[in-house]
Chain A
Amino acid sequence: MPLLQASAVSKRFGGITALSRAEFHAEAGEVHALLGENGAGKSTFIQILSGALRADEGDIRLRGEPYRAANPSAAQAAGVAAVFQELSLVPDLTVEQNIWFRHERLTPLGTVRARALRDQTRALFQRFRFPPIRPDQEVRRLALADRQIVEVAKALSRDPSVLILDEATSSLAPQETEWLLGLARQLAESGKLVIYISHRIPEVRQVADRITVFRNGATVAVHDTAGVSDDEIIAEMLGRRMDRLYPPRVATATERIALKVRNLAVGDRVAGVDLDLREGEVLGIGGLQGHGQRELFQGLFGIGRAKGTIELWGQPMTMRGPRQALTGRDGLALVPEDRRGQGLLLSKTVRENLTLAVIPRFANFGWLNARRERALYEEMIAFLRIKAKTPEQPAGTLSGGNQQKVIFGKMLLTEARVLLLFDPTRGVDVGTKGEIFQLMRDLAAKGYAILFYSSDLPELVHVADRVAVMRNGTIAAVLEGAAISEDGILRAAMFQSGQVH
């Protein structure tokens, strides 16, 4: 008997059908991948499993018993734990308080046993060989990757029989990803069910026994991982054959330097960075996570405390904030890491988000010209093929890939021709990923200069003309031509640490 049987599960939000008679059957002792484009209904499905949403129709059984979690605590009590894409950690509590939140051991006075909290956390970390994280740090001080790891610890603290990992590796460095994949296998071998959701097909291949594919809210296929090809899976996700994920790389770089950086230091995380980004070039930034890539991008955009020389199109620039950095054709524009927090105003409309940064382009003496604004946003919606019902749809209701397109549109409207893209495909479905890569190459061909960081190595290898690898806050190597490979990037990133395998 399958551990989890979900039959004919449906869920509607207003007029939108998120799930329509979806099927999902999984056994104890397997890692079962759930794949689909953004908007295919995966998130809705796992939110139903984990008690954050209620299904409208359908029959879900856990160990043969009807299962209907009214809220997250009911799901936890039934042994279903989820590591959400949107993190469920409380920033002002410490790592250990978060892990054991709401099932702490108490003293007779009803207060939390601090000692037990520490001991239990140590034991949990040891048992599953967690990367080192201090248990007494407040979560708000942790980097995104560490928060993700704490989230995993929190789910494991309930000793669940069903563990759901939703894009849990999206912010992890390669080694941490390996660790998590190993953990998923370990859990499956001890008789648990791990439901694994990821856009990264190589990871799914490595870890999953079986794959269920969702499309448009319904189940379209179930496979044994060994018996199916990547192309088949992608075709099933998209409902059409994908030509190619990565566009052909045509060298379009000229000799003209668009962005010249000399001896840049940002805070105490980045020092001595020299970079030349040429017109028409996609320059990749690689390296292990936390080696200054984020600070470099922020420093260039004028958010961090940057020191050093930056020249844009030959003009020295001083940056006091995003406003200066954004301005006009000689400026630069950033796609930030945290699109929901930094890039988009989720409750505002697609139109407002697109044109917010460029109000002067359609304003006369403070009066907004609606017609000129419409020309701008309609151009972007068409150019980027943003799937919104109307420009007045709130940005927060779009799928992840379309939200990312809105950010691209906002950035392109500034007319800046030096683009800083920080992990622009994180949490974006495979179809939109392909479109974004094509867009990057198209823009490069038009003379844009693009600085591109990705946490996904193959993206750097296949999209960038050159890759600058960062280590300990500075550029450790710049790879060109045939030297650009996953192996080469990792070697350069880890050279000094003696960890090359």
Chain B
Amino acid sequence: MTTAGAGPAESGVAAQTPAGGEWRARLIDRAPFLVACAMLIALVAIYASFRDDVLTLEELNIDAAAAMTLLLAATGQTIVLIRGGIDLSIGGMISFGTVLAATQFGDQWTTTLGWTIAILAIGFGVGGINGLIISVLRLQPFLVTLATWSILSGASLLVLPIDGGSLPAAWMAFGSGSFLGLSSAVWILIVLFLFWLWFRDTRLGVTIRATGSNEKSAYLSGVSITFINVAAYGLSGLFAAIAALYLTTQTGAGSPTIGKDYILPSVAAAVIGGISLFGGRGGLSGTIIGAFILTIIGNLVFVLSVSGYWQPIVSGVILLIAVLASSLAERSARRRIN
């Protein structure tokens, strides 16, 4: 009879990457994120060469406010992308959130608070329903969330057919307010980042990533796929609702059509930041970089006083570079294994 100690196989050692290669491999794995950082630095440098006051706190306050709606929407999108899905319904939810806020908030702070909670609950609920439909009826996330986007867009138009409505003055004051020299947007950014540091290490965070990485493996490990979908799409809807609320502090009005401007950019911000559309990989720091890249492109187009149509062109090129970086990292990873 053999004993368990008979053969710690040397082939186990042979299969490992040597230490030097290991370090390089990890660097290549991070390449998409590093490329995004490099692009952001380059853009900021170009921007700074046209204006003197770019590297100031004031500029950070302004840019954070400009990027925040997109970033909030992209945070939800990031969670869903890591799950291996996609959420188009956030466009509908953002519109719906702004029109509800602009028509329902009124002058009483209690009404405002009540409706704020209601909008957040609707966001989570609609997202949860997305997740439920996707898992129970086994439908494609793309199509399910396209449908809920359409439904929410129609609902928004029923509530408020044209841009308008009004928000309480105190509500608006929060959006333009600052504390300790940092605008509310920068504070939200800090909270968002802390949230992510916590969330990614929770069991739910790990499980969402695992399910995105390989759904079947996750299922065999005891994960309820339905629960994970409800949680991931629910969080995405919740963040879309938060994005809508933040947006109203900036615009002071509701808009039944504004949400569609955030659907593809939210995906783009995440992908530029190195999040894989195949799920399982990436984090919010990448998305934050991505959202700032897209925002600064807008600033650049403005200071260069060229046609605004250049903005999507440059964004597209940046997106291609980001996708290329991810794909190169992917290919190199596969080569290492084979």
Listed in ascending order, the chain A residues whose CB lies under 8 Å from chain B are 52, 71-73, 76, 84, 86-93, 97, 101-102, 104, 106, 109-112, 114, 128-134, 140-143, 145-146, 149, 154, 173, 175-176, 178-179, 181-183, 185-186, 206, 267, 288-291, 294-295, 298, 303-305, 497, 499
> Which B residues between 188 and 233 are near A, CB-CB below 8 angstroms?
198, 201-203, 206-207, 209-210, 212-214, 216-224
Shortest Cβ distance from A405 into chain B, in angstroms?
A: 25
A132 pairs with B13, CB closer than 8 A: yes
* A-side contacts of B218, CB under 8 Å: 90
| Interface segment, one of B3-11, B126-134, B304-312 | B3-11
A97 pairs with B14, CB closer than 8 A: no
| Interface segment, one of B154-162, B174-182, B250-258, B330-338 | B330-338
Contact of A130 among B8, B14, B224, B337 (CB under 8 A): B8
B4 pairs with A182, CB closer than 8 A: yes
Shortest Cβ distance from A471 into chain B, in angstroms?
A: 10
Contact of B206 among A97, A129, A179, A267 (CB under 8 A): A97
* B-side contacts of A102, CB under 8 Å: 203, 207, 221-223
Which of B25, B216, B222 has most chain A Cβ within 10 Å?
A: B222
B3 pairs with A182, CB closer than 8 A: yes
Question: Nearest 4 A-B pairs (CB), nearest first?
Answer: A73-B222, A131-B12, A175-B9, A175-B7
* A-side contacts of B201, CB under 8 Å: 111-112, 114
* B-side contacts of A114, CB under 8 Å: 201
B12 pairs with A149, CB closer than 8 A: yes
Whether A185 contacts B2 in the complex (CB less than 8 A), given A91-B213, A93-B210, A102-B203, comes out as: yes
* A-side contacts of B207, CB under 8 Å: 101-102
Contact of B202 among A71, A86, A90, A111 (CB under 8 A): A111
A131 pairs with B8, CB closer than 8 A: yes
* A-side contacts of B206, CB under 8 Å: 93, 97, 101, 104, 112
Which of A104, A110, A303 has most chain B Cβ within 10 Å?
A: A110
Residue of A nearest to B278 (CB): A92
Residue of A nearest to B18 (CB): A268
Contact of A101 among B3, B11, B210 (CB under 8 A): B210
Whether A294 contacts B338 in the complex (CB less than 8 A), given A91-B213, A97-B206, comes out as: yes
Residue of A nearest to B25 (CB): A141
* A-side contacts of B219, CB under 8 Å: 72
B49 within 8 Å of A (CB atoms): no
Whether A173 contacts B221 in the complex (CB less than 8 A), given A93-B209, A140-B337, comes out as: no
Q: List 28 A-B contacts (CB under 8 A).
A: A71-B224, A84-B220, A89-B214, A90-B213, A90-B217, A90-B218, A97-B210, A101-B210, A101-B221, A102-B207, A109-B198, A109-B202, A131-B12, A132-B8, A132-B16, A133-B12, A134-B16, A141-B17, A141-B333, A145-B11, A145-B15, A175-B9, A175-B11, A179-B6, A182-B2, A182-B4, A291-B11, A295-B338
A143 pairs with B337, CB closer than 8 A: yes
* A-side contacts of B16, CB under 8 Å: 132-134
A111 pairs with B198, CB closer than 8 A: yes
Number of interface residues of B (CB under 8 A): 45
Bound complex: CA of A92 vs CA of B219, how far in Å? 15
Shortest Cβ distance from A358 into chain B, in angstroms?
A: 26
B280 pairs with A176, CB closer than 8 A: no
B15 pairs with A290, CB closer than 8 A: yes
B1 within 8 Å of A (CB atoms): yes
B30 within 8 Å of A (CB atoms): no
Total number of A-B contacts with CB less than 8 angstroms? 156
B2 pairs with A140, CB closer than 8 A: no
Residue of B nearest to A158 (CB): B222
* B-side contacts of A72, CB under 8 Å: 219-222
Bound complex: CA of A182 vs CA of B223, how far in Å? 31
B281 within 8 Å of A (CB atoms): yes
* A-side contacts of B9, CB under 8 Å: 131, 173, 175-176, 179
A181 pairs with B2, CB closer than 8 A: yes
Residue of A nearest to B215 (CB): A90
* A-side contacts of B1, CB under 8 Å: 185
Known: A131-B8, A132-B8. 5 other contacts (CB 8 A): A72-B220, A88-B220, A92-B213, A102-B221, A111-B198
Shortest Cβ distance from A399 into chain B, in angstroms?
A: 20
* B-side contacts of A128, CB under 8 Å: 4
Bound complex: CA of A305 vs CA of B332, how far in Å? 12
* A-side contacts of B217, CB under 8 Å: 87-91
Shortest Cβ distance from A382 into chain B, in angstroms?
A: 35
Bound complex: CA of A175 vs CA of B4, how far in Å? 11
Bound complex: CA of A303 vs CA of B217, how far in Å? 28
* A-side contacts of B210, CB under 8 Å: 90, 92-93, 97, 101
Listed in ascending order, the chain B residues whose CB lies under 8 Å from chain A are 1-17, 25, 198, 201-203, 206-207, 209-210, 212-214, 216-224, 280-281, 333, 335-338
* B-side contacts of A154, CB under 8 Å: 221
A146 pairs with B2, CB closer than 8 A: no
Bound complex: CA of A295 vs CA of B13, how far in Å? 18
Bound complex: CA of A110 vs CA of B201, how far in Å? 8
Residue of B nearest to A494 (CB): B10
Bound complex: CA of A362 vs CA of B194, how far in Å? 61
Contact of B2 among A73, A89, A142, A178 (CB under 8 A): A178
Residue of A nearest to B218 (CB): A90
Bound complex: CA of A430 vs CA of B213, how far in Å? 34
Bound complex: CA of A97 vs CA of B221, how far in Å? 12
B220 pairs with A52, CB closer than 8 A: yes
Shortest Cβ distance from B280 into chain A, in angstroms?
A: 4
Shortest Cβ distance from A31 into chain B, in angstroms?
A: 11
B4 pairs with A179, CB closer than 8 A: yes
* B-side contacts of A181, CB under 8 Å: 2
* B-side contacts of A143, CB under 8 Å: 15, 337
B336 pairs with A141, CB closer than 8 A: yes
Shortest Cβ distance from A154 into chain B, in angstroms?
A: 8
Shortest Cβ distance from B17 into chain A, in angstroms?
A: 7
Bound complex: CA of A288 vs CA of B202, how far in Å? 40
Bound complex: CA of A376 vs CA of B12, how far in Å? 44
Which of A87, A111, A305, A497 has most chain B Cβ within 10 Å?
A: A111
* A-side contacts of B3, CB under 8 Å: 182, 186
Residue of A nearest to B201 (CB): A111
* B-side contacts of A132, CB under 8 Å: 8, 12-13, 16
* B-side contacts of A182, CB under 8 Å: 2-7
Shortest Cβ distance from B4 into chain A, in angstroms?
A: 4
* A-side contacts of B222, CB under 8 Å: 71-73, 76, 102
Shortest Cβ distance from B126 into chain A, in angstroms?
A: 25
Bound complex: CA of A267 vs CA of B331, how far in Å? 14
Contact of B11 among A86, A173, A183 (CB under 8 A): A173
Contact of B335 among A178, A267, A290 (CB under 8 A): A267
* A-side contacts of B335, CB under 8 Å: 267, 305
A146 pairs with B220, CB closer than 8 A: no
Bound complex: CA of A104 vs CA of B216, how far in Å? 20
Bound complex: CA of A290 vs CA of B9, how far in Å? 12
* B-side contacts of A291, CB under 8 Å: 11, 14
Bound complex: CA of A186 vs CA of B281, how far in Å? 38
Bound complex: CA of A76 vs CA of B223, how far in Å? 12
Shortest Cβ distance from B31 into chain A, in angstroms?
A: 15
Shortest Cβ distance from B120 into chain A, in angstroms?
A: 21
